[in-house]
Structure 1
Amino acid sequence: MSLTFSCFASLSQQLPSQVHARSSSSGGLEKVKNLITRTGIPSTITSPLDSLQKGNWVKLICGASFEDVVDIRNLSLVYTLAGVDCIDCAAEASVVNAVNDGIEAARGIIPIRRPWVMISVNDNEDLHFRKAEFDPDDCPTDCSRPCENVCPADAISHSGKAGVSKGGVLAERCYGCGRCLPICPYDKIRAVTYIRDVDATAQLLKQDGVDAIEIHTSGRQAESFQQLWNGLGDSIDKLRLVAVSLPDMGELTVPAMNSMYVTMKVNLRCLNLWQLDGRPMSGDIGRGATREAIKFALHLASTRDKPKGFLQLAGGTNAHTVEGLKRERLFQTTSISEKLNGGERALNSFEPSHALISGVAFGGYARKIVGRVLRSLQSEHGYARLEDCPRHLVDAVTQALALVGTVKCYNER
């Protein structure tokens, strides 16, 4: 039994008796099973590898710096039920335990296949690896506190929250989006950046329950990437997938990818994937946030000399992403066309089993739509396991299915 699961067991003992009564009712969980069945997810669905090849791979990004194990466990439960292929989380043992607890809870409800578990690390300073910080005692008493309203993670409280007596930033909930930094009228908030320890990462990779790693990089510092890769040593031997997340660097993107691939391929014994990080941590903002991710995908898909590896979108992805991919003829297709003199010419083609764009990762938007349900759960019942409150679980799974279904095309077969 993991520490995370023990934490939930202890919390559940403190819940009101009516919540326990609800948890013993099979009727609520039957509604979840029926919902999943009606949506079109069979009890055993295609493997993550099949999804990559077909172009309907979906990854949940819990957040490289998000470490709230209660939310992470419930998010993993919901999105496993919704059929994601991979769950990406912070490289911390307690977080990995929370993800795996959520996955197994989902598999206890319906016999669904296990998604891959991925941990995220960085080779240098990166937006995804930072925390906001401020001392609420330094804040003027007449401040309107705009930072509280703008925080998408509900990580800021001047008056304090459960387990925090003083207030400020709840470090485990802050994932470094940075929206609070420019909005503070007194410039009191600062960002604290960090780099994941390579030795600790290597040890975590050797444990059961971790299937993949994602390296966040700027692509501009080949030496930093090489040091991280070499430092991981033989810890990558048992992995199923190695992903590299990088921004759009224009003409420098493909040369950087080729350089990193040369470093990796010497001892790469599994699949590799390139995560195209269009507009980091912005998917929850609105429809326009996904444009840069699609633009990045269009650029890479039409480039001939890129290295091996699946292509997956991230950064600004939301419910409108697949719609944009379809407009650009990038969704679940094996070729890309360019209009020339009123006609079209194929620029790239792959084997029939390989899609041009292999999938989409959802982060902030995925957490936001399910987070509404989790906040309601917490408000009504405190820190509870989501499956103990079937009404909330049905609501959360409904939201998740709608999002994952944009890629999986549920009910369109």
Structure 2
Amino acid sequence: MMSLSFSCSASLYAQLPSEVQARSSNLDKVKNLITKSGIPSKITSPLESLQKGNWVKLICGASFEDVTDIRNLSLVYTLAGVDCIDCAAEASVVNAVHDGIEAARGIFPIRRPWVMISVNDNEDLHFRKAEFDPNDCPIDCSRPCENVCPADAISYFGKAGASKGGVLAERCYGCGRCLPVCPYDKIRAITYIRDVAATAELLKHNDIDALEIHTSGRQAESFRELWNGLGDSIDGLRLVAVSLPDIGELTVPAMNSMYATMRANLQCLNLWQLDGRPMSGDIGRGATREAIKFALHLASIKDKPKGFLQLAGGTNAHTVEGLKREKLFQTTTISGKPDEANDPSLALISGVAFGGYARKIVGRILSSLQSEHGFAHLEDYPDHLLKALIESLALVGTVKCYNER
């Protein structure tokens, strides 16, 4: 009976058009690749990942609002086993993330990552957009801004998909690389602060699991105003993260001050995102050094406040290698001795967030998809999906240690 069923299925398959056969074959390859990788996230919760030290977060970008790319990035990295997807605090962006997650779960029965939105308490590099009027640009300009932009956010008249020249605001995430290269000083940065009331309203929906607050760590009053303004909108969250730079000897006092502000009504887990060198992970091996240095400093301090530690800012495929050299990866102490100040079952560094580098390695494939098929759903083109998944698994696997068990 089984043989007959297989024979009939094979016969029907042979009658399908070649492009349909190819699509089915590539989807099978996607599923097989996930299965063979041994992705622990099929069953491991995000909380368990934090405790074990193999938590991975995808940073879509606090200012990145291209919903087509965000949806496809969320699809790919959900299949790759990330624990959290961080995005802009905009309803359309959150919807795109969920759409991508559901598309991934429709392909393979993987558990759902947490969805996080990012806000800021004051001016921050992650919350700005580049802007210029292309009509002011000399005709003979070599356009170095267009060449240096990692998000392909600068366009000119006649470029595919652009209705006008200048900066495509939905794609710009504020890296600032275009600012110093303009030979005519025509580009400016526009900064903004997410509206607290709008954020609180967005958090009241039941489809957001986590919140991240970007702060300089130097303005306690701004942080306090934001936190108090959020009110009870945070009650249903699973995690609150605070992203801050290394401010030397002031870092831990700033963390203690912020934790004191949060503690009274914090009903969930908290995490400190160590933002070493913001938005630089796609540059190269050296970009991750500052994040690792920051982690080494904080991991050795006993009087820091409660909360998981996670790297960001300059993180890329070399980050875990650097953590291993410093004996920080999936270990409870630097010395190997039990740390009485912390739960010995928890890793010193709980995980890594990947932003620019994660978007870059998959973005090349998404750009190819767009040039060939327009603004398409990635799963409708399994050959592109397979290529994107291979790239994302290689990156996420540096933390998850796929196939090393």
1:114-263 matches, cutoff 5 A: 114-162=112-160, 164-263=162-261
* 2:298 aligned partner: 300
* TM-aligned CA distance change 1:19 to 1:265, over 3 Å: farther
1:372-411 matches, cutoff 5 A: 372-411=364-403
1:33 is aligned, of 25, 31, 34, to: 31
3-state DSSP class of the match of 1:261? helix
Aligned 8 A contact 2:302 2:341 in 1: no
State the 1:29 CA deviation.
Answer: 1.2
More displaced stretch, 390-399 vs 200-209? 200-209
Partner letter of residue 152 of structure 1?
P
Partner letter of residue 190 of structure 2?
V
Q: Deviations over 1:124-156 (max 9, x none)?
A: 000000000000000011111000000000000
Q: Deviations over 1:8-53 (max 9, x none)?
A: xxxxxxxxxx999649943221110001111112573200000000
Q: Which whole-Å CA distance do the structure 2 matches of 1:377 and 1:189 have between them?
A: 30
Q: Which whole-Å CA distance do the structure 2 matches of 1:26 and 1:222 have between them?
A: 55
1:266-277 matches, cutoff 5 A: 266-277=264-275
* TM-aligned CA distance change 1:314 to 1:42, over 3 Å: closer
Q: Which whole-Å CA distance do the structure 1 matches of 2:96 and 2:193 have between them?
A: 22
Aligned 8 A contact 2:320 2:399 in 1: yes
* 2:70 aligned partner: 72
3-state DSSP class of the match of 1:60? strand
* 1:10 aligned partner: none
- 1:356 matched to 2:354? The reply is no
3-state DSSP class of the match of 1:180? coil
* TM-aligned CA distance change 1:348 to 1:315, over 3 Å: farther
3-state DSSP class of the match of 1:182? coil
* 1:49 aligned partner: 47
More displaced stretch, 120-129 vs 199-208? 199-208
Aligned 8 A contact 1:123 1:216 in 2: yes
* 2:89 aligned partner: 91
Alignment TM-score, normalising by the size of structure 2: 0.93
Q: CA RMSD in A?
A: 1.8
* TM-aligned CA distance change 1:70 to 1:300, over 3 Å: same
* 1:81 aligned partner: 79
Q: Which whole-Å CA distance do the structure 2 matches of 1:402 and 1:25 have between them?
A: 23
- The total of aligned residue pairs comes to 390
- 1:321 matched to 2:313? The reply is no
State the 1:68 CA deviation.
Answer: 0.1
1:282 is aligned, of 277, 280, 296, to: 280
Q: Deviations over 1:178-223 (max 9, x none)?
A: 0000000000000000000000000111112110000000000000
State the 1:258 CA deviation.
Answer: 0.1
* 1:15 aligned partner: none
Q: Which whole-Å CA distance do the structure 2 matches of 1:36 and 1:44 have between them?
A: 10
Q: Unaligned stretches of 5+ in structure 1? A: 1-17, 338-343
Aligned 8 A contact 1:90 1:96 in 2: yes
Q: Which whole-Å CA distance do the structure 1 matches of 2:62 and 2:77 have between them?
A: 17
Alignment TM-score, normalising by the size of structure 1: 0.91
3-state DSSP class of the match of 1:318? coil
Q: Which whole-Å CA distance do the structure 1 matches of 2:394 and 2:23 have between them?
A: 26
Aligned 8 A contact 1:126 1:218 in 2: yes
Aligned 8 A contact 2:332 2:339 in 1: no
Percent identical: 83
* 1:63 aligned partner: 61
Q: Which whole-Å CA distance do the structure 1 matches of 2:29 and 2:337 have between them?
A: 49
Aligned 8 A contact 1:245 1:277 in 2: yes
3-state DSSP class of the match of 2:180? helix
3-state DSSP class of the match of 2:311? strand
* TM-aligned CA distance change 1:22 to 1:66, over 3 Å: farther
Q: Which whole-Å CA distance do the structure 2 matches of 1:167 and 1:153 have between them?
A: 15
